[in-house]
Amino acid sequence: MDLLNHDLLHEFPQYLEPMRRLRASDAHFASLVAHYDADNRTIAAYEQGVGSITDQALELLKKKRLKCKDEIYQRLKEAGA
């Protein structure tokens, strides 16, 4: 199965430098990125058949990742990135 890559480098390529700056200077932003990356790795593993999860649980995990991504994007915009 050919899956989309949802890591932040692919999601926001135009914000690479601002993301680096914010991760270094904003602990909450760094935490958001860490949570997003962890959820993204977990989702990718399940989608590749590593382990098992119900469709409903996977959908909830994807919604959690999306909420985190939305907050990351908002913080990037607020920082004038």
**Residue 60 belongs to a domain:** yes
Per-residue pLDDT of the chain (81 residues; tens, 9 = 90+): 445 678 998 999 999 999 999 999 999 999 999 999 999 999 999 999 998 999 999 999 999 999 999 999 999 998 875
Q: Is residue 2 part of a domain?
A: no
Q: Is 43 among the domain residues? A: yes
In a domain, 72, yes or no: yes
| 13 assigned to some structural domain | no
The number of domains in the chain is 1
6: in domain: no
The domain in which residue 61 lies consists of 18-78
Does residue 47 form part of some domain? yes
- Classify residue 73: in a domain, yes or no: yes
Of the candidates 72, 71, 8, 13, the one whose C-alpha atom is nearest the C-alpha of residue 40 is: 8
pTM, two decimals, is 0.88
Which residues touch 47 (CB under 8 Å, ≥6 apart)?
A: 1, 3, 58
DSSP codes, 9-48: HHH-GGGHHHHHHHHHH-HHHHHHHHHHHHHHHHHHHHHT
